Each structure stands twice: as C-alpha cells, then as structure tokens.
C-alpha cells in the first residue's frame, strides 16, 4: 500500500464521515417510532440506488463491486447488515450523543481485532490519533446526562463491534467495495420482517409524505454515499483507520442537531468534538507528510 494511496483513503473516509454525521438528524426528522421499519425501508432504498447506478453506469462497477452477495463479500455483508439494524435501534432508543460516543469506539475494536486475530501491524500514528479521539469522546460523555436506556447502549456497542468486523472483511474483498453497505441493508430488509412479524405493513401505510421524504433522503442518498465511501477507504487504509472516520459523526452530529433541530450541545460536546476533529485531520496530514517523504 503506497503512501499516496493512504492519503487518498483518508480523504475518502473523511468525506464519508462528514456525510454520515447528518444521519441522526434525518432519523429524528422521520419521527418513526418503529425502528425496524426504518431498517427495512432504508435498506431497500440503499440497495435500489446502488443497483440502479451499477446497471446504468458500467464504468462504476469497478468501484461499486457486484450488487449481490458472493462468497468473497459474504462476511462483510453480514456484519454491515447487523450494524445497520443495531445502529437505527440505538439512535431511536437512546440519547444521540451517548449512542455515538459508544459507536466511536469502533477504531479501538477494529485495531484490537485486527492485531489479535489477523496479526495486522497497527501504525503508531493511527493509534495515537485514536487515543486522542477517544479523549474527546470521554469529554463528550462527561457533559451528558445519565439515565440512557440500557438497550440503546447495548445496540450501540453491537454496532461498534459489527462495524469494525465489516470494515476488516471489506478490506479483504478484491473488487469494488462501495456497494457492500447497501448489500448489508437489503439483507436486513429481508431478515427483519421474518422476526418483526406482520406489524410492519400497517406501519408503512401509516407513513406521512414528509416522513417518506426524510426516509428517501436518508436511505437513498446519505447512507449509501457515506458508508460506501468509508467502505471504499478500506482499499487504501487500514480497517482501524476507516473506523476512525466514524469519530467525525460523534463530533459533528451535535452541531447538525443544533442547527436543524435547535438542540444546543453542551460545552463538553463542543470541546470534545473539536478534539476528535483535530485527531482525524492530524492523522490525514501525517499520512500526507509520509507520502511526501517517500517521493
């Protein structure tokens, strides 16, 4: 893996992280109480968009990969599926900032799994950036009220673990990886109704036009683009580094919540968010510096 590729991977991942940070706003705007309904509909929308692009733009296929499950991408798709279901349930059940704080442990989870089970050497600058980022996470957490629903915390932790594993296995897929999150989404759309029962159909018919609008924006644009870019970054950077981009959501989501929903973040969220952003940007600049030295 060249130093220049690492820089490109960081830039791709940062772009994905910034876009992903708006996700919580749209989930709030949907005002849909049934989390499983959101999982099903956004999974269908994600996959429909990716498949349409794959079908109509042949040149995109080298980046997208195939819009169906194969033996090579199966593990990554399974974990993207689980993370999608857990993420929506976590956001719908608990405090957004606290949920995102827990999910931001993904870089550590990814680094530990990669090191222990796959003998992957983790760059020291990456680990330092992750540690600094987690300091920001702790500051954000300290400024939030206690009493978060325990189930939300469990869903958030499961999201972090599944996301880390999804990135690890995505990095092992030889062809395009941008479609992998959408494949996880469509798999969730197939599996969830089996367990959720027949209650989903009445819930779909009860959705209002404005709810459909936010669902479409989130499912057909925000998630496939954001997760696709972060997944794509694993072709150029370590999976643990890809997890680092998720910290941007922890940093920026309170800002979007404030701007669009008028919920002011605490001073701790502002300070911690700034630290997280500095950690991610510093890691990118370090990769760029190393690339310049190598030339």
Q: What is the pLDDT of residue 227?
A: 81
Q: Which residue positions in the chain have pLDDT lower than 70? A: 1-6, 140-150, 196-198, 239-243, 265-266, 269, 284, 287-288, 290-295
CB atoms within 10 A of CB 29: 17
Letter string b/e over residues 237-266, b meaning 16 or more CB atoms within 10 A of that residue's CB: bbbbbbbbbbbbbbbbbbbbbeeeeeeebb
pLDDT, position 3? 60
For tokens 């998630």, the residue is: 223
* Residue 130, both tokens: 């992750």
Q: 120 exposed, middle or buried (CB, 10 Å; 0-12, 13-18, 19+)? A: middle
* Lookup result for tokens 């936010």: 214
Say what the pLDDT of residue 77 is: 96
Question: Which pTM value belongs to this model?
Answer: 0.78
Task: Residue 199: count other Cβ atoms within 10 Å of its Cβ.
Answer: 11
Q: How far apart are CA 11 and CA 22, in angstroms?
A: 18
**In this predicted structure, what is the pLDDT of residue 234?**
76
Domain limits at 173?
A: 3-294
Q: Give the separation between CA 276 and CA 133, rounded to whole angstroms.
A: 4
Structural domains in the chain (count): 1
Q: Which DSSP category does 198 fall into?
A: G
């Amino acid at each position: 893996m060249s130093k220049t590729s690492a820089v490109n991977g960081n830039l791709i991942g940062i772009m994905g992280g910034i876009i992903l940070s708006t996700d919580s706003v749209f989930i709030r705007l949907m005002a849909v109480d049934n989390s499983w309904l959101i999982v099903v509909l956004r999974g269908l929308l994600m996959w429909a968009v990716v498949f349409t692009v794959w079908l109509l733009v042949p040149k995109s296929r080298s980046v997208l990969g195939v819009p169906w499950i194969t033996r090579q991408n199966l593990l990554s798709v399974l974990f993207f599926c689980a993370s999608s279901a857990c993420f929506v349930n976590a956001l719908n059940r608990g405090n957004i900032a606290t949920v995102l704080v827990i999910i931001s442990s993904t870089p550590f989870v990814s680094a530990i799994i990669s090191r222990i089970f796959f003998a992957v050497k983790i760059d020291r600058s990456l680990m330092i950036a992750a540690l600094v980022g987690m300091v920001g996470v702790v500051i954000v957490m300290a400024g939030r009220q206690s009493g978060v629903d325990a189930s939300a915390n469990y869903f958030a932790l499961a999201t972090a673990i599944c996301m880390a594993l999804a990135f690890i296995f995505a990095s092992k897929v030889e062809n395009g990886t941008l479609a992998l999150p959408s494949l996880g989404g469509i798999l969730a759309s197939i599996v969830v109704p089996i367990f959720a029962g027949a209650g989903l159909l009445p819930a779909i018919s009860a959705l209002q036009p404005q709810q459909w609008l936010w669902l479409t924006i989130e499912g057909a644009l925000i998630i496939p683009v954001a997760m696709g870019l972060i997944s794509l970054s694993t072709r150029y950077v370590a999976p643990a580094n890809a997890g680092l981009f998720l910290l941007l959501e922890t940093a920026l989501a309170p800002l979007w919540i404030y701007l669009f929903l008028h919920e002011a973040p605490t001073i701790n969220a502002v300070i911690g968010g700034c630290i997280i952003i500095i950690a991610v940007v510093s890691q990118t600049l370090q990769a760029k510096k190393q690339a310049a030295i190598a030339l």
